[in-house]
């Protein structure tokens, strides 16, 4: 864990009070699970006035391995509508998979990527087969082989 802890400690020190607009740190207790809130800042009708909560889970090989990032659903924090976000909060983004991940990415850069992914979206819809995936999936996001085919949204 030492490797991941060191890096997360440095990230945390950098993040404190110094995050880009629309991104706020909720909790970062310990170096296994962090919660952050993100908002879409421009006037995208799908997301206006809404705040979404992200859960980061770090393994001991972070940042060599990507963290597990999902949206969480609470009373005032819905799961954003997006063709690449399943209604259980699982995100289909190549950045978060083994192939697309680079160890120079960090929590801040992931948040910004997700923010821009929402900002650019115009489709108020869930991925194809959402109901079935959500009902049947018992795997962790990192074990799912997403097929990153759609680069338009």
Instruction: Kindly list the catalytic residues.
Output: 92
Handedness of CA 69, 112, 134, 99 (dihedral sign): negative
Q: Which two tokens stand for residue 150?
A: 């759609």
Cβ atoms < 10 Å from Cβ of 47: 23
Running DSSP on this structure, what letter comes out for residue 60? T
Build a one-symbol-per-residue string for 68-107: x at contacts with another protein by CB under 8 A, - elsewhere: ------------------------------x---xxxx--
Return the number of other C-beta atoms located less than 10 Å from residue 93's C-beta: 19
Quick one: which segment of 16-24, 62-70, 119-127, 132-140 binds another protein (CB under 8 A)?
62-70
Residue from 38, 56, 63, 67 in contact with another protein (CB under 8 A) = 63
For binding to another protein (CB under 8 A), which residues are involved? 3, 6-7, 10-11, 14, 61, 63-65, 98, 102-105
């Amino acid at each position: 864990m030492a490797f991941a802890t060191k890096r997360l400690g440095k990230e945390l020190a950098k993040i404190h009070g110094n995050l880009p607009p629309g991104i706020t740190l909720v909790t970062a207790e310990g170096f296994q699970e962090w919660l952050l809130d993100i908002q879409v800042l421009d006037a995208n009708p799908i997301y206006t006035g809404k705040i979404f909560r992200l859960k980061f889970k770090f393994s001991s090989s972070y940042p060599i391995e990507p963290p597990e990032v999902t949206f969480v659903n609470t009373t005032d924090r819905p799961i954003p509508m997006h063709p690449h976000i399943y209604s259980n909060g699982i995100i289909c983004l190549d950045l978060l998979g083994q192939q697309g991940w680079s160890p120079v990415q960090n929590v801040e850069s992931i948040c910004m990527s997700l923010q821009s992914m929402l900002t650019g979206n115009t489709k108020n819809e869930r991925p194809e087969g959402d109901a079935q995936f959500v009902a049947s999936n018992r795997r962790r996001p990192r074990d799912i082989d997403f097929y990153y085919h759609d680069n338009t949204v």
